[in-house]
Structure 1
Amino acid sequence: MKRRQWLKAAALGTAAPFGTALSTALVPRSAQAAAPLKIGFVYSGPVSGVGWTYQHDLGRKLVEKTYGAKVQTVFVENVPESTDAERVIRQLVADGCKMIFTTSFGFMEPTLKVARDNPDVIFEHATGYKMAKNVGIYQTRFYEGAFLCGMLAGRMSKSNKLGFVASFPIPEVLRNINAFTHGARSVNPQIATKVVWINSWYDPARERDAALALTGQQCDVLYQNTDSPAIVQLAQSKGLYAFGQDSDMSSYGPKAQLTANTVNWGVYYVHKVGQALAGQWKAEDTKWGMKEGMIELPPLNAAVPADAAKQYNERKAEILAGRFFPFAGPVKDQAGAIKVPAGQNISDGELWSMKWYIEGVDGKLPT
């Protein structure tokens, strides 16, 4: 399964396609300084102004700002999740990169293959599940933000029907569907969530069509696990509400976006690069969320009523303090079976292998 859809290269002069010279950002250093740590980033999409790749590139820039002349960063954008990814990663090694971040699920096997041949290079792979001595993995607890967005959706919906535009039926996405629905039903038990799958991470036309289909079923608040602002734009045009994903998308729908479930990769990149510079890096399985600063939600839309905002902010504070967990029991699946008993919390193992719909989701899970 590809983690990010391969996007077309940006126009000549603004981005280098994967088959051309690397885009680089060289940090100046004095002649007396030690050679900088050269760090490569592999992106599946273009470095644009919003979305998944954009957030990763903000993280790269934070590494530069934090470590200055101690580092040199390079990136390659628009890399397909195919055998071409291996070639790009090998070229980064050949160009002297001693630390490489591969930022899409579909880069997992190419990363591991190149890592086996280069034990002196540090590799970090986003959203994967396979590790090696020189390969660490990292993921986000997006579901924390999805639960909070659900709370807002449950309060703002007039039809009691929420719409979710989903990419692929994998645990990463199911966690967010379920957390969003669970959050909504925690404040409005009458809520039902309808899901449309588009089998793509980034396809603005299909995202818009899916959102239109949901609005045709009386869904008046929309959420997404896709990357473009098309859904927020549609909500803006129809006078409905929606949520940004990965990035703050309020500029595309200032009246529509209630808030956004955004990711700050920079806190992780600064942390791991710091380990490498200190000679203390080790391969780890990292899952960070709100309390670590990886998941952030921008200020609420002024349309959110004061009591709903208060309820949201109180729950947000509890998540940040580690006093509340979105999948704390009791949790039932779509058929009414207990998945998490009262007084218990779901394990990370169950979270990261989730393959079921929670109570309140309307429809069948694709097989």
Structure 2
Amino acid sequence: MLEDYRNALRAGQRATRAAQARGQSPYLAVLDDILRGVNIVAQEPLGLVDIPAESIVGTKTAGRHTAFAPNFMPILEADSEFARKWSNLCDAHLEEGIRYPITAYEYLNKFYVEEGNKRVSVLKYYEAVKIPGTVTRLVPERNETLENKIYYEFLDFYKLSKINYVHFSRLGGYAKLQTLACKATGESWTDDDRLNFASLYTMFSQQFYALGGSALGLTPGDALLVYLAVYRYSDAIESTPAQVRENLSKLWDEIKILTRPQAVELQLEPATKQGAEPLLSKLNIFSPRPSELRVVLLHEHNAQTSAWVRGQDKGRDALLKAFPGRVRVSCRENVNPEVDAEQLLEDVAHDNADIVFTTSARMHPACLKVAAQHPGTRFLNCSLNAPHPLVRTYYPRTYEVTYLLGMLAGITSRSDHVGYVAANPVYGVPAAINAFVQGLRSVRPEGRVVLRWACLPDPAHPLDFSDRKDIEVFYARDAREPEGTDRDYGLCRRLPDGILQPIGLPEWRWDTFFIEIVRSVFDGTWNSANGRAINYWWGMRSGAEQINYSAGQNSGTMQLLRLVEKQIAKDDVQVFPSEEYAQGHRKQGAATGIYTPQELMKMDWLDECVEGEMPRYEALNVKSRFLLEVNGLDRYKDEPR
């Protein structure tokens, strides 16, 4: 089969020239060279393994590595002894198959051949998907590199699944795959599990590359996580290639978002306040304007038992008043995010709802699943930092309010210690806590904040701080919510009889969000996103939040607070200093001197004047963990599950 060798040689020569053009070695990688200076902490014999052919990237030693291009195709001349042996191996493979396994080492889930280089070359030439081999795993010492962290996540996943062909480019992928494949944490995979997943992954990878996935800089595994977040695993493994391709096409914008440095685009003001209306919208060519809209609100709880729902429900009357005769508004209450949210969303979409507001962050996964099937309905979720073009989010900039309430706490407290009860460790919460600290210390430089978490009840440390006689003023949890639901209430004073006296209560103006978002649909500006993941994060300037102060406040205090409110609305106040210190006296600061909205949203550390810490993932209950899966800070992706 000398002709096959010549074909393989040409493929090898092309790969060699491409590598040289990129400034890379034109030969196979050598593991012995790679391991220089690497501390290997364990060698694990894995026995006979089906090795993914695409993961075999080099040789163990330098001998013969110059006989192959980086793609394992031969590069020695066609009249060489090597070419004759390679051709004979081709004949043997075609007649009876290559029966002997290779010997290889695995390092960082890549494989390096110790014995059997020509077998690998021939099998890759014939596009073999897997190559049997006796494998020894080399485990490096843990370090802080992304590649190393992902590898250690892979090791945990491999112990359960024995799957070695799925790769991810970011942390958390393997744990998320375990969950999406309907396997409990720590649950091992059966042979049937592995067969079903292998079939799905092969089919999905083919469709991913057919749609242009190789140009995205993502792995098929990255894209599969997006796919399985929308389409149930049980349905996915029963799908045909055509169905997978059709479904994947609907999610292509969702997948492309992963390639952007900033996956989320924060809109800090309503479009009507950001500037003139786009010309194409005025011409009404590409942005058709509806004459009437049907708006639906979905609530996890009901207006009788939840102040949060009552606040969001005010938007119904506001919409009717703002757009008389042009909107029809309805709501569904007591929607369980994990049980019936998906079906109810399907129902309202089938009923031709134009806009759906879901007022609980825990409904976001259900929104995402349904939105992919109903592109004609606009879905929004009350949460922050969700990188999904299919579902937009809306939320107030709470740190502006907590800065002012921190000032008020410093003015009204009789001691240097004040309390803060935070709801859950989700995006925006550390910024709100740290802004409260900055407000406090702007009027009381020696002030300190004692932090407690509503999601971590501790009888020894009650949320009213009654165990702390030095704390009477604190930012409180809202007791007007159903059990197990944690929301902010506002700044209170604990009276001697234990009653909480409100001092300053934030009011989140959901009506502002609803009116301006609906207006953007009427105006035709909604459709200008062009596949971007839009998060509406509005503040005082937009009228999306305000503070209701209690009567009887000192007139000088009120004058100061109102002045600072105006300055915040004009962006004349720098809430966070350009340089500050986190707990442990770790220096923190914005990359450019002034924190960007993205940096504030993703802030995950606490000021050194805070007594308390961020919760550990394993200490949280199931409901809080579900919320963290939707809206939790990036730091929790690194924690063991």
Partner of 2:517: 272
1:222 Cα shift? Answer: 1.4
Alpha carbons of structure 1 residues 238 and 87: separation in structure 2 relative to 1, 3 Å: farther
Q: 1:319 aligns with which of 546, 568, 571?
A: 568
Rounded to whole Å, the distance in 2 between the matches of 1:103 and 1:40 is 11
1:69 equivalenced with 2:318 (yes/no): no
**Higher normalized helix content (fraction of residues):** 2
**Cα displacement (A) at 1:212:** 3.3
Tell me the secondary structure at the aligned position of residue 542 of structure 2: coil
Q: Is 1:288 aligned with 2:533?
A: no
Question: Counterparts of 2:414 and 2:324 in 1: how far apart (Å)?
Answer: 51
Q: Which runs of 5+ in 1 are unaligned?
A: 1-33, 241-251
The offset of 1:344, in angstroms, is 2.4
Q: 1:301 and 2:559 equivalent?
A: no
Query: Percent of aligned positions with the same letter in both sequences?
Result: 24
TM-score, normalising length from structure 2?
Answer: 0.45
Q: Which runs of 5+ in 2 are unaligned?
A: 1-289, 482-487, 617-641
Residue in 2 that maps onto 1:122: 378
Matched, 1:93 2:376: no
Indicate yes or no: 2:604 matched with 1:351.
Answer: no
Q: Distance in 1 between matches of 2:497 and 2:444?
A: 22
- Deviation string, structure 1 residues 36-84 (Cα, Å, up to 9, x no partner): 4211111122114873221111112211111121111111112222142
Partner of residue 45, structure 1: 301
**Once the 2 structures are TM-superposed, how far is the Cα of residue 347 of structure 1 from its aligned partner?**
1.6
Distance 1:285 1:155 in 2: 34
3-state SS of paired residue (2:602) = coil
Alignment of 1:133-212 (within 5 A): 133-199=389-455, 210-212=462-464
Residue 238 of structure 1 aligns with an amino acid whose one-letter code is P
Change beyond 3 A, Cα 1:144–1:270: same
Which AA in structure 2 matches 1:352?
A: M
Report which of the two structures shows the higher radius of gyration computed on alpha carbons.
2
Structure 1 equivalent of residue 154 of structure 2: none
> What does residue 609 of structure 2 align with?
360
After TM superposition, the structure 1 stretch with the greater mean CA deviation from structure 2, 122-131 or 350-359, is: 122-131
Separation in 2 of the partners of 1:363 and 1:135? 34
Deviations 1:165-224 (A, max 9, x none): 222122332222211121101110121111221218xxxx999x8333455352110103
Alpha carbons 2:298, 2:335 under 8 Å: kept? yes
Work out which structure has the larger RCO, using CA pairs closer than 8 Å and 6 or more positions apart in sequence. Answer: 1
Deviation at 1:274, TM superposition (A): 1.5
Paired residue for 1:257? 502
Does the 8 Å contact 1:51/1:227 carry over to 2?
no
1:314-349 residue CA offsets vs partner (Å, 9 max, x unmatched): 222210111113224233212223322699221222
**Residue aligning to 1:246:** none
AA aligned opposite 1:68: P
Whether the 8 Å CA contact 1:198–1:210 is kept in 2: the answer is no
Counterpart contact for 1:331–1:341, Cα < 8 Å: no
TM-score, normalised relative to structure 1: 0.77
RMSD: 3.0
Q: Aligned AA for 2:546?
A: E
> Which residue identity does 2:579 align to in structure 1?
P
The total of aligned residue pairs comes to 316
Q: Deviations over 1:14-47 (max 9, x none)?
A: xxxxxxxxxxxxxxxxxxxx98421111112211
Distance 1:152 1:238, change over 3 A: same
- Could you say which residue in structure 1 is the equivalent of 2:103? none
- The whole-number CA distance in structure 2 between the counterparts of 1:176 and 1:226 is 16
